[in-house]
Amino acid sequence: MFILLLNKSKDKIRKPSKRYIFLERYFIFTTLHKIKFIEKVAEDAQLRGGETRVAALLLNYFNTKTGRCCPSQNTIADRLKLSTRRVNTLIRNLRDHGHIKRIKKGNKNAGSNEYNLLLERFNDDPDIRKYTSTGEEIQRSKY
């Protein structure tokens, strides 16, 4: 879902400027999305335990309101007591099996990584549809 940039006073679509808040993406993911993600990674028979550990830590850094996940590979390596090279391999395995998408930011050698955990693929899951609001409910006052 994308949010249009609106001028608050006239409600017309405007170009981004310093006065307006511009959100590139705005997703609402629940804890159930996170559980479904880790289940999917754990059930993948081609992955070993290291990938599941990295996926669980990425979920810890994932912001459910903004959809952003930006831990450095050094941070992941320190937390899991692994080498940075091993973490890079595990992330590549997760990416190759379609569980995450790595978005490279900055320049080629000294840039940072952002990880998209592809949680939107679980939106059609029956459990998530059961417990997710459609936004069509009417809030009624008791008084």
Instruction: Indicate whether 121 pLDDT > 80.
Output: yes
Instruction: Indicate whether 23 pLDDT > 50.
Output: no
Q: What is the pLDDT of residue 107?
A: 77
Q: What is the pLDDT of residue 30?
A: 81
d(CA 35, CA 139): 29
Q: Are 72 and 86 in contact (CB under 8 A)?
A: no
Q: What is the pLDDT of residue 143?
A: 61
Q: What is the pLDDT of residue 101?
A: 92
pLDDT-derived band at 3 (thresholds 50, 70, 90) equals very low
Degrees (nearest 5) of the Cα angle 71, 77, 82? 160
Q: What is the pLDDT of residue 112?
A: 86
Instruction: Indicate whether 2 pLDDT > 80.
Output: no
Condensed to tens digits (0 to 9), the pLDDT of residues 70-114 reads: 999 999 999 999 999 999 999 999 999 999 998 888 777 777 889
**3-class DSSP assignment, residue 41:** helix
d(CA 63, CA 70): 9
Instruction: Indicate whether 1 pLDDT > 60.
Output: no
Mean pLDDT, the chain, whole residue set:
77
| Lowest mean per-residue pLDDT among 20-24, 27-31, 101-105, 134-138 | 20-24
- Which pTM value belongs to this model? 0.70
